[in-house]
Amino acid sequence: MEQLGQFAPFILMFAVVYFFMIAPQMKRAKQEKKFAAELKRGDRVITKSGMHGKILELNDKDGSCVLETGAGKIKFERSAISMEMSKKLNAPDKK
């Protein structure tokens, strides 16, 4: 019983790290994967680098997509599309 008391702080510290760091990170990764899988032609998106565009083509073989931007067509990886910024871009204005 005394040995369990010595390890209690480590067990508690692991639990705190798991619930505040690991679990939310896993949840976010799952949401981003779902977001990338649900992309479709015509969606307005923003890449993680800040490029705005509309999806013209989606390629499931190599995980890429072609965006139409003000400068022309550019090919990106689906993982380069920002979930948060794209959702804000497509959210209805609250007035």
Same domain, 68 and 46: yes
pTM over 0.75: no
How many structural domains are present in the chain?
A: 2
Side-chain-side CA neighbours of 84 within 13 Å: the count stands at 5
Same domain, 45 and 55: yes
Same domain, 34 and 46: no
How confident is the model at residue 93, as a pLDDT? 63
Give the confidence band of 77 by pLDDT, cuts at 50, 70, 90: very high
Q: What six digits make up the tokens of 72?
A: 């022309």
Same domain, 92 and 54: yes
Q: List Cβ neighbours of 52 (8 Å cut-off, separation of 6 or more).
A: 44, 45, 46, 69, 70, 89
Distance between CA atoms of residues 90 and 85, nearest Å: 9
Distance between CA atoms of residues 56 and 11, nearest Å: 50
CATH code for position 69: 2.30.30.140
Distance between CA atoms of residues 71 and 80, nearest Å: 18
Domain that holds residue 3: 1-38
Same domain, 66 and 91: yes
